[in-house]
Structure 1
Amino acid sequence: MNTSDDILSTAAAWMAEGRKVALATVVSTWGSSPRPVGSQMAVDAAGAMAGSVSGGCIEGAVVMEAQKTLQDGEPRMLSFGVTDEMAWEVGLACGGKVQVYVEAVE
């Protein structure tokens, strides 16, 4: 598993290459959650990613939202939970809730 320092180092290296980068951070959880608060994932405009915010179950949706953030510059607060219809679509049937904050880094 990547540490937060590894993820931030990867993001910095991508930025040094001229790539646009967004950072997704787990900011709250409730119940069963695959990753703890503070878990991070870096995403570039092409969809490359480093780190993890969910163990895979919602990461595709987070990558898509991160790419939108890179396009419009607007940060996003994403919420996933078993009562959310989208949670079933992305595979978050673990019984918990997770909120992920996505922001572009410069």
Structure 2
Amino acid sequence: MSTLSADTTQVLAQAADWLESGRRVALATVIATWGSSPRPVGSQMAVNDTGAMAGSVSGGCIEGAVVHEAMAALQDGEPRLLQFGVTNEMAWEVGLACGGQVQVYVEPVT
């Protein structure tokens, strides 16, 4: 079993546990990446209605924004397509070797 598969299994198991205990849950999934990206396509993070999270979609650099959008999705029931990125030029300014982009789909789970 690959690391991604093990990670995904753990995230989905935690989401199922939250749902079974009566919590509302949103699932965030990396659906596309370009250039440098800390997590591959298919990486997932579950967020419950208290803000607890399991898994990762970025290794930390965009997690806060994804949690915020997940909480909003739980409130209005609407999925979101999020895009984060930095150009190659901006990457050098903040001390990174290269730029990149990541798209994350966030959806409430029912």
TM range (shorter): 0.7 to 0.9
What's the TM-score, normalizing by structure 2? 0.84
CA deviation vs aligned residue, 1:10-64 (integer Å, no higher than 9, x gap) = 0000000000000000000000000000000000111100000000000000000
Q: Runs of 5+ in structure 1 lacking a partner?
A: none
1:74 corresponds to 2:74: no
Q: Runs of 5+ in structure 2 lacking a partner?
A: none
Single out whichever of 74-83 and 48-57 deviates more from structure 2. Answer: 74-83
Q: Name the count of aligned residue pairs.
A: 99
Q: Which has the larger radius of gyration?
A: 2
What's the TM-score, normalizing by structure 1? 0.88
Cα distance between partner residues in 1 of 2:35 and 2:75: 33
Root-mean-square deviation (CA), in Å? 1.8
Cα distance between partner residues in 1 of 2:7 and 2:36: 21
Following superposition, the deviation at residue 105 of structure 1 comes to 0.6
Structure 1's consecutive aligned runs of 4 or more residues displaced over 2 angstroms after TM superposition are none
